[in-house]
Amino acid sequence: MRVTEMKFLFEGVIFSSRVIIDYVSDSLNPCEFTITFFTRYLISKYRECYFFVWENNKFKPIYTRDEKEDELIKILQDAIIEAYNTIKVKILILDECR
């Protein structure tokens, strides 16, 4: 399990959140991501946290209430992919240095 912070742009504002990445197994490359917001604005309009599952190179669908939340989910998923790829590169570099 890894914890990192990510930043993302939504409604013209840069927000930050904590991401918990949990590797389930090496088969089918499943990972679970938990996003926790630090901003009361997002918590009051949406949810305090979101749970995403990445499997077979795509996110499993989640229920959203409206188009604005759909947009937020897409932005979060893009930010997760970027943060996850950065972490994978850092792990590979650390492994090579050992």
Q: In what order do the strands lie in the sheet with 13-23?
A: 2-10, 13-23, 31-37, 49-55, 58-59
Segment 37-96, tens digit of pLDDT = 988 999 999 999 999 998 888 899 999 999 999 999 999 999 988 887 776 655 544 455
For residues 96 and 65, give the distance between their C-alpha atoms in angstroms, rounded to a whole number. 45
For residues 7 and 10, give the distance between their C-alpha atoms in angstroms, rounded to a whole number. 10
Q: Is the pTM of this model over 0.85?
A: no
Cα angle 11, 13, 16; round to 5: 115
